A = this chain, B = another copy of it.
Amino acid sequence: MTTDFWVDGEPVSSIPVTDRGLAYGDGLFETVRVIKRDLTLPELHWQRLENSLNRLDIAVDIELLMSEVATFLSLQSSPDGVLKVLITRGSGGRGYNPAGCSGARRILSFHALPKHPDSNRNAGITLYPCSARLGHNSLAGMKHLNRLENVLARAEWGGTEFQEGLMLDLDGLLVEGTMSNLFLVKNGTLYTPALDRCGVSGVCREFILRQASGWGISVMVQELDEPALLDADEVFVCNSVNGVWPVARYRDISWQVGVVTATVRDRVLEVLNG
């Protein structure tokens, strides 16, 4: 349950209907795991936010935002939870044209940590094969507010049999889960799809890419197709809120939790536990 909202530093839970985030998805967001009132993986979250703001040419005072976030977290009744930082280009401009708009709007919210069965992390999950495909575009990598494809993919299944869904792109290549990134293991090497045409460059994925060699694991970022997934020795998904979930089943294929997956899962968990 949501316990608190701030808009531009004030305890407000609504925005004007003129906001461009609503009108056009003109903005972006970060979802950050908070432990003992501290952000986990803070540098990677701030870096991605700042890079995406630059790509969208939205001006935000990052120092002010970081200070505002610290104050916001200090006021929460729970020390642990999920912080959502949502930035829009604000109100105004003329139609799509952003010239003359009011400037960025900063929206903070704090939510309870999601409750998932321990088995997701320990025994692994079953992955749903989504029909909805991710289109190619120049917005790839950013966690922007244009997320209808993810919504439609996630709406494809209900119930508790599947814990995440796999999304392919228009060419049938692997991209990601609806709310996570995807890794394969083959002969001890990690592989994850390149995200230059679609997908979100997740903070947990980035952490793994930067740390893997230090854990003695080599990692390749490249085009990967569905046969490569079916042929993998191990498979997992990850995000910065839930960490690593081994994939135990996809279509007719089952996997055990392998040693590379277990290593990455446990290293990520150390960081996400603060």
Least Cβ–Cβ distance between A261 and chain B, in angstroms: 23
On whether the beta carbons of A137 and B151 are closer than 8 Å, the reply is no
Quick one: copies of this chain in the complex? Answer: 2
Q: With a 10 A CB-CB cut-off, give which of A2, A29, A96, A152 has the most chain B CB atoms.
A: A96
Number of A residues contacting the other chain (C-beta, 8 Å)? 57
Q: Are A17 and B179 in contact (CB under 8 A)?
A: no
Q: State whether the Cβ of A139 lies closer than 8 Å to any Cβ in chain B.
A: yes
Q: Judging by beta carbons under 8 Å apart, are A137 and B135 in contact?
A: yes
| A154 lies within 8 A of B109 (CB) | no
Would you give the shortest CB distance from A148 to chain B, in whole angstroms?
5
Interface code A144-156, partner B: CB below 8 Å = 1, 0 otherwise?
A: 1111111111110
Contacts of A107 in B (CB 8 A): 17
Give, as a whole number of angstroms, the nearest-CB distance from A195 to chain B. Answer: 14
B98 contacts A57, C-beta separation under 8 Å: no
A160 on the interface (CB 8 Å rule)? no
Q: Tell me whether B15 and A178 are in contact (CB under 8 A).
A: no
Does A145 lie within 8 Å of B17, measured CB to CB?
Answer: no
Q: Are A148 and B154 in contact (CB under 8 A)?
A: no
Contact call B146/A25, Cβ cutoff below 8 A: yes
Residues of B within 8 Å of A59, CB to CB, are: none
Name which residue of chain B comes closest to A149, CB basis: B137
Interface residues of A (CB under 8 A from B): 2, 5, 7, 13-26, 29, 56-57, 86, 88-89, 94-99, 107, 109, 114, 132-139, 144-155, 158, 170, 178-179, 198
